[in-house]
Structure 1
Amino acid sequence: MKNTEKSDAAEDDSSSFDPLPDDVVLQIFRKIIDYETLCPCRLVSKRFNRITLQVDTIRFITKITSYKSFLSKIQSLKKFEGLKYLSVHIPSTSEHPCMCRWKIKCGKNLDSVIFLSPNSVYHSKKYVNENGHEEEDMELTLLKKFTAMECMDHAVLSHLMLLTCIKHIPLLEKVTLKDSGKTYSISLNAEKIAEMRSSLTSPYELIRQNRMSKCYVPLLELPVSGYVLKGVTVFLMEREDLPIGNDSFMKIDDDDSEDKLEAAFNEALMEIFKKHAARFERQLAFTSVIFV
Structure 2
Amino acid sequence: MSHIDGALGEEEEEEEEEEEEEEAENQFHRLADDVVLNIFDKLSDVKCLCRCFVVSRRFSSLVSRVQTVSVKSYGTWELNYLPIVDYDSPGLEQHLNHLIHGLGINFLANLTHVRALHIELPSDFGSQNDSVFKWAANFTAKLDGVMILYAASLSKIMESEQQQEDETDEQEEEEDETDEQEEDKTDSPFLIIKRSVKDAAFRLGILSYVVERHPMLESVIITDSKNKGVKLRLGGEKIAECRNWLNFDRVIRPVRGESWRKKCMNIGTVPVLELPMSGYVMKRVVFAYYKFFADEDSEVETAMANAFAEEQGVFSEAAVQLLKNRNGLLKNLMRDPSIY
Q: Pick the TM interval, shorter chain.
A: 0.7 to 0.9
Match of 1:22 in 2: 33
TM-score (norm 2): 0.69
Match of 2:65 in 1: 54
For structure 1, list consecutive stretches of 5 or more residues without a partner in the other structure.
1-5, 286-292
- The alpha-carbon deviation at position 71 of structure 1 amounts to 4.6
CA distance in 2, matches of 1:179, 1:28: 26
Q: Which of residues 201, 204, 207 in structure 2 aligns to 1:162?
A: 207
CA distance in 2, matches of 1:155, 1:147: 12
1:68-83 paired onto structure 2 within 5 Å: 68-72=97-101, 73-83=104-114
Quick one: percent identity of the two aligned structures? 24
Match of 2:231 in 1: 185
Q: 1:15 is paired with a residue of what secondary structure? A: helix
CA distance in 1, matches of 2:56, 2:156: 55
Q: Which of residues 297, 300, 312 in structure 2 aligns to 1:243?
A: 297
Match of 1:288 in 2: none
Kindly indicate whether the alpha-carbon contact (under 8 Å) linking 2:45 and 2:69 is maintained by their aligned counterparts in 1: yes
CA distance in 1, matches of 2:134, 2:65: 35
Kindly indicate whether the alpha-carbon contact (under 8 Å) linking 1:110 and 1:156 is maintained by their aligned counterparts in 2: no
Q: 1:59 is paired with a residue of what secondary structure? A: strand
Give the total of aligned pairs: 275
Q: Which of residues 89, 92, 101 in structure 1 aligns to 2:120?
A: 89
Match of 1:289 in 2: none
Compare 157-166 and 131-140 and name the one that shifted more.
131-140
- The alpha-carbon deviation at position 251 of structure 1 amounts to 1.9
Kindly indicate whether the alpha-carbon contact (under 8 Å) linking 1:89 and 1:180 is maintained by their aligned counterparts in 2: yes
Cα RMSD between the aligned structures? 3.3
Match of 2:133 in 1: 101
Higher helix fraction: Structure 1 or Structure 2? 2
Compare 199-208 and 274-283 and name the one that shifted more.
199-208
- The alpha-carbon deviation at position 199 of structure 1 amounts to 2.9
Higher strand fraction: Structure 1 or Structure 2? 1
Q: 1:229 is paired with a residue of what secondary structure? A: strand
Flag the 1:155–1:84 CA change in 2: closer, same or farther, 3 A: same
Q: CA deviation digits over 1:102-128, x for unaligned, max 9?
A: 313244445233232154422556533
Match of 1:214 in 2: 267
Flag the 1:74–1:117 CA change in 2: closer, same or farther, 3 A: same
Match of 2:56 in 1: 45
Kindly indicate whether the alpha-carbon contact (under 8 Å) linking 1:213 and 1:236 is maintained by their aligned counterparts in 2: yes
CA distance in 1, matches of 2:56, 2:246: 37
Match of 1:115 in 2: 149
Q: 2:285 is paired with a residue of what secondary structure? A: strand
Amino acid paired to 1:281:
K
Flag the 1:19–1:179 CA change in 2: closer, same or farther, 3 A: same
1:125-204 paired onto structure 2 within 5 Å: 126-131=160-165, 132-133=168-169, 134-135=172-173, 136-137=176-177, 138-139=180-181, 143-145=187-189, 146-181=191-226, 182-200=228-246, 204=250
TM-score (norm 1): 0.79
- The alpha-carbon deviation at position 191 of structure 1 amounts to 2.5
Q: 2:319 is paired with a residue of what secondary structure? A: helix
Match of 1:268 in 2: 318
For structure 2, list consecutive stretches of 5 or more residues without a partner in the other structure.
1-15, 83-94, 336-340
CA distance in 1, matches of 2:246, 2:98: 21
Flag the 1:242–1:58 CA change in 2: closer, same or farther, 3 A: same
